[in-house]
């Protein structure tokens, strides 16, 4: 699967009909992009007026990437509340407008429409309940919920009282929950009895129970449990409280906490190249400016749009483009509990028709999986309501792009291929649909204020059409501010590789039109179906099994998932590899991290290729996993070159 095409790639010009009514046209983009670089203070001071402030900021930006004098601050003397911006300020004009449409896993169950007024009341009730339970500004709250409106309510309620939320994806294991609770010492956990996905239940409360038995989790005083499926759960009093019993009788008004612009809003754990997932910390004003401004601009938002981002709130895309951006903009968003192939592979398109979705935003992995099912499941639906499509999470290969454009969008809807990261808070490189001609597979050009550059291994900036490592030369309001509890790791991870620049961890090509083509991670992060998994995490899960002596994990190209996980395992002396043991190791990783980290291949490795200083040479392991044994390159620096031959001979993909 090729991620990038020759630069003579087809160009899809902005459709005239789209440009005619677009918020931002080509000349607007060019003017505003230049304006944001020429005078960032003036530009962002103006953009910040899109928010409602208790006290408007007088300072706009204070940024230095210099290691000895490092700081990132935006709008620092402003005072505001995020939930007021997402809810209260819409009540007068949009109180009865639908804020969220809930489409349950089972299409036979009724969908729900929740107005801004109703959502405001639900958020206020939970916010009051949290305060009564002793949650104060700055306390951490872990949210482990299914993809239902309760998740959005929980996020907004935390924002209302200034509690820092940490959403943990419902597919993560008790171990992963425990690590995340321990890292930020959460006081309270909001969960549900069970989740529901593709007709199967997920034992959310039982997973929390198991997590809270693990060391480091005794900061948790209360577990609030939403009744979702009605499935049986163990309630351990007084720790565990039913959500409805604690929340339903609360007043439907709640005084919002006055938050400083730079007060933390949330922590979201994400995988990096080393160690355990790190807590990416976003703050209040800059994040909301970025989530709302990019949502409005990139998706060319109109008052009557129905916006559907299929991402779970457990990922950053679900934060910025389900729980925050659309609400800050007074939009109508869909919350979808289900999966693309349940009860059948037309589900996405049926939901689009059912709720008259106008903007649809999903991941390439879903497109590729549905593409495999052929056109019929798509073509039997109308999709006439659609006007814009979006892609996020990984590079979209041109083939999948064209299918998305022609089959799903009937060649009518532009596609915004949006490149960004948990760390960036929102979209940084993307077409603007009324301004940017499209090239399938390219995320195209930078958003206002974003200064990408490509550098070589030494950090020298490369000009013109070229390929290199993607860096950002200056800050933008939505940038993460720190790794929770470990500022040194923040600096180390992002600002030390290339001093004076933010390093994204991605490789990228730029063509002669200045279009950016992301080629994928250049660090030890694997992107499985748009979800980041660190090779170190999977390795540490594997070696925690008593029969494993050593493990090395690499990514390989996978037709549907983008990348898959390939593990090389060395057993402890005297242990013989068996099929049962292989299955047990796969199950062990699933239990330690969660099903998204399931290795696709486990190859027995009598030895691993290492340098004389003991470093595993992953470059070689990657080539073996990709079935390219003729491209191993120089193996002369290996401590024992003979191990390579046996790994090549025994490789699992030929
Ligand atoms: C939003 C999100 C970030 C990594 C990023 C890159 C990859 C995301 C992409 C893309 C090519 C796109 N990525 N969007 N690659 N084209 N449109 O996905 O955040 O989970 O932190 O992942 O995903 O490799 O560095 P996150």
Following DSSP, what letter does each residue of 463-474 receive, concatenated? PSSEEEEEEESS
- In this prediction, residues 304-321 reach a mean pLDDT of 98
What confidence tens digit (pLDDT) does each residue in 410-419 have?
999 999 999 9
With contact defined as beta carbons under 8 Å apart, do 389 and 430 qualify? Answer: no
What confidence tens digit (pLDDT) does each residue in 366-412 have?
999 999 999 999 999 999 999 999 999 999 999 999 999 999 999 99
Is the Cβ atom of 394 under 6 angstroms away from ligand 1? yes
* 355 half-sphere exposure, CB direction, 13 A CA radius: 30
Could you tell me which of 545, 550, 551, 553 has the C-alpha nearest to residue 585?
A: 545
Is the Cβ atom of 316 under 6 angstroms away from ligand 1? yes
pLDDT of the residue at 6: 46
pLDDT of the residue at 7: 45
Is the Cβ atom of 395 under 6 angstroms away from ligand 1? yes
Mutate to test the pocket of ligand 1, among 167, 404, 421 (most ligand atoms within 8 A of CB): 421
pLDDT, greater one: 614 or 591: 591
pLDDT bin (cut points 50, 70, 90) of residue 4 is very low
* 307 half-sphere exposure, CB direction, 13 A CA radius: 30
pLDDT of the residue at 73: 98
Is the Cβ atom of 532 under 6 angstroms away from ligand 1? yes
Q: Using alpha carbons only, what angle is made at residue 145 by residues 143 and 148, rounded to the nearest 5 degrees?
A: 125
CA of 424 to the centre of ligand 1 (A): 10
Could you tell me which of 63, 28, 60, 27 has the C-alpha nearest to residue 46?
A: 60
pLDDT above 90 (res 119): yes
With contact defined as beta carbons under 8 Å apart, do 126 and 120 qualify? Answer: no
pLDDT bin (cut points 50, 70, 90) of residue 2 is very low
pLDDT, greater one: 7 or 487: 487
pLDDT above 80 (res 70): yes
Under DSSP, is residue 518 helix (H, G, I), strand (E, B) or coil?
strand
User: Atom 7 of ligand 1 has which residue's CA nearest to it?
Assistant: 394
Classify the C-alpha dihedral 451-281-61-33 as positive or negative: positive
Cross-strand partners of 128: none
Residues with Cβ within 8 Å of 80's Cβ and at least 6 positions away in sequence, in order, are 51, 52, 53, 54, 55, 258, 259, 261, 284, 285, 288
Question: What is the spatial distance between Cα 364 and Cα 372, in angstroms, rounded to a whole number?
Answer: 12
Question: What is the spatial distance between Cα 478 and Cα 131, in angstroms, rounded to a whole number?
Answer: 28
| Residue 213: Cβ-neighbour burial (10 angstroms; 0-12, 13-18, 19+) | exposed
pLDDT bin (cut points 50, 70, 90) of residue 641 is confident
- In this prediction, residues 257-266 reach a mean pLDDT of 98
Is the Cβ atom of 421 under 6 angstroms away from ligand 1? yes
pLDDT bin (cut points 50, 70, 90) of residue 639 is confident
Question: What is the spatial distance between Cα 318 and Cα 323, in angstroms, rounded to a whole number?
Answer: 6
Is the Cβ atom of 317 under 6 angstroms away from ligand 1? yes
**Alpha-carbon separation of residue 63 from 75, 117, 429 (angstroms):** 11, 38, 21
pLDDT bin (cut points 50, 70, 90) of residue 543 is very high
CA of 268 to the centre of ligand 1 (A): 15
pTM over 0.90: yes
* 168 half-sphere exposure, CB direction, 13 A CA radius: 34
pLDDT of the residue at 127: 99
Is the Cβ atom of 419 under 6 angstroms away from ligand 1? yes
pLDDT of the residue at 84: 99
pLDDT bin (cut points 50, 70, 90) of residue 272 is confident
pLDDT bin (cut points 50, 70, 90) of residue 1 is very low
pLDDT bin (cut points 50, 70, 90) of residue 634 is confident
With contact defined as beta carbons under 8 Å apart, do 649 and 614 qualify? Answer: no
pLDDT of the residue at 8: 58
CA of 333 to the centre of ligand 1 (A): 22
User: Atom 8 of ligand 1 has which residue's CA nearest to it?
Assistant: 393
| Residue 227: Cβ-neighbour burial (10 angstroms; 0-12, 13-18, 19+) | middle
Mean pLDDT, the chain, whole residue set? 96
Q: What is the ipTM of this complex?
A: 1.00
């Amino acid at each position: 699967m090729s991620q990038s095409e020759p630069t003579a790639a087809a160009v899809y010009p902005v459709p005239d009909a789209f440009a005619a009514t677009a918020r931002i046209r080509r000349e607007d983009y060019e003017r505003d992009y230049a304006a944001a670089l020429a005078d960032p203070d003036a530009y962002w001071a103006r953009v910040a007026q899109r928010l409602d402030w208790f006290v408007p900021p007088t300072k706009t930006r204070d940024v230095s990437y210099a290691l000895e004098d490092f700081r990132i601050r935006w709008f620092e003397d402003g005072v505001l509340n995020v939930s007021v911006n997402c809810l209260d300020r819409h009540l007068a004009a949009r109180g009865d407008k639908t804020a969220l449409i809930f489409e349950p896993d089972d299409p036979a169950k009724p969908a729900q429409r929740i107005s801004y007024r109703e959502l405001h009341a639900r958020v206020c009730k939970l916010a009051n309940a949290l305060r009564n339970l002793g949650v104060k500004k700055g306390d951490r709250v872990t949210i482990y919920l299914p993809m239902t409106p309760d998740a959005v309510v929980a996020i907004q309620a935390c924002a209302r009282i200034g509690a820092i939320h940490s959403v943990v994806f419902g597919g993560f294991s008790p171990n992963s929950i425990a690590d995340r609770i321990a890292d930020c010492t959460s006081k309270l956990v909001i969960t549900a009895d069970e989740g529901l996905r593709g007709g199967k239940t997920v034992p959310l409360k039982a997973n929390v129970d198991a997590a809270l038995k693990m060391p480091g989790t005794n900061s948790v005083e209360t577990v609030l449990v939403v009744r979702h499926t009605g499935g049986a759960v163990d309630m351990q009093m007084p720790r565990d409280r039913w959500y409805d019993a604690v929340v339903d009788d609360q007043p439907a008004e709640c005084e919002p906490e006055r938050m400083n612009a730079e007060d933390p809003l949330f922590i979201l754990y994400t995988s990096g190249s080393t160690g355990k997932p790190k807590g990416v910390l976003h703050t209040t004003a800059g994040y909301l400016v970025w989530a709302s401004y990019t949502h409005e601009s990139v998706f060319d938002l109109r008052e009557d749009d129905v916006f559907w981002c299929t991402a779970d709130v457990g990922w950053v895309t679900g934060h910025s483009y389900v729980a925050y951006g659309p609400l800050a903009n007074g939009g109508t968003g869909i919350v979808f509990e289900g999966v693309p192939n349940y009860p059948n592979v037309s589900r996405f398109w049926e939901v689009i028709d059912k709720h008259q979705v106008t903007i649809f935003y999903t991941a390439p992995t879903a497109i590729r999986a549905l593409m495999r099912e052929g056109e019929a499941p798509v073509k039997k639906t109308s999709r006439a309501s659609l006007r814009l499509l979006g892609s996020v999470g990984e590079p979209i290969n041109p083939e999948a792009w064209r299918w998305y454009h022609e089959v799903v969008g009937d060649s009518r809807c532009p596609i915004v291929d949006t490149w960004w990261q948990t760390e960036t808070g929102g979209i940084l490189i993307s077409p603007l649909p009324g301004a940017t001609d499209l090239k399938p597979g390219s995320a195209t050009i930078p958003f206002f204020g974003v200064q990408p550059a490509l550098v070589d291994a030494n950090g020298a900036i490369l000009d013109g059409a070229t390929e290199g490592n993607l860096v950002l030369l200056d800050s933008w309001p939505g940038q993460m501010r720190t790794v929770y509890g470990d500022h040194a790791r923040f600096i180390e991870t992002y600002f030390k590789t290339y001093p004076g620049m933010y390093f994204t961890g991605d490789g990228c090509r730029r063509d002669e039109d200045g279009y950016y083509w992301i080629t994928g991670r250049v660090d030890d992060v694997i992107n499985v179906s748009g979800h980041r998994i660190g090779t170190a995490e999977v390795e540490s899960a594997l070696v925690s099994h008593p029969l494993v002596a050593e493990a090395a994990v690499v990514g390989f190209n996978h037709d549907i998932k983008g990348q898959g996980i390939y593990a090389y395992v060395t057993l402890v002396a005297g242990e013989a590899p068996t099929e049962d043991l292989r299955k047990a190791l796969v199950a062990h990783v699933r239990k330690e991290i969660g099903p998204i980290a399931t290795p696709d291949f486990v190859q027995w490795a009598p030895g691993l290729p290492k340098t004389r200083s003991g470093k595993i040479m992953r470059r070689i392991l990657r080539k073996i996993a990709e079935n390219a044994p003729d491209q191993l390159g120089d193996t002369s620096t290996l401590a024992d070159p003979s191990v390579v031959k046996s790994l090549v001979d025994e490789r699992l993909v030929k």
